[in-house]
Amino acid sequence: ASAAACLPNPLTRASGDGMYRPGDIVKLLPSGDYQYVGRRDKMVKSRGYRIELGEIETALYAHPGVKEAAVVAVPDERIGARLMAYVVPGDSALTQSALMKVCSERVLRYMVPERIEMCSQLHKTSTGTIDSTTLATQSNPFTAQTAVVPFVPDILHPHHAAFRYVQ
């Protein structure tokens, strides 16, 4: 953990005793419980792996035909989240298979989006930034125009979380 993620521990006065700020955003409920609201970063968990969505977006932007890209995590009860990429092509020759190839060359296998959807534009917030929340909650983000990559872990062991998914 970096020093920026560490805070003084209010429960002790010991020198050097700090608390780690994990990036989760929570709110304190009247009952004394904490309710998870979201994250400060774009980290998600899928199939037991922690994934930074920005790394996948960077891989997509490495293709010269990409004008805009956003990767979102679509909630899934079995695996935590499914990775979905939305891309606005800068040229008409851009294909989903070319984007899958560029991702597979730049990020780990489990970080390659399961689906990539080509769009004419991405949803934006009132400040002009890409609205990832709207993209992730669209009624049916998995349309017939999406490319699908089946997930097969490099090492498949019966105790691995993905084993139950692949069977």
Tell me the mean pLDDT per 10 residues along the chain, length 167: 63 68 69 69 79 90 92 82 91 89 92 91 85 72 44 45 41
Contact between 136 and 73 (Cβ < 8 Å): yes
pLDDT at 165: 41
Q: What whole-number distance in Å separates Cα of residue 73 and Cα of residue 127? A: 22
pLDDT at 164: 41
Listed residue (136, 62, 139, 152) closest to 99, CA to CA: 62
pLDDT at 106: 93
pLDDT at 123: 86
pLDDT at 29: 77
Residues near 70 by beta carbon (within 8 Å), at least 6 away in sequence: 57, 85, 86, 122, 130, 132, 135
pLDDT at 137: 76
pLDDT at 163: 40
pLDDT at 116: 92
pLDDT at 89: 94
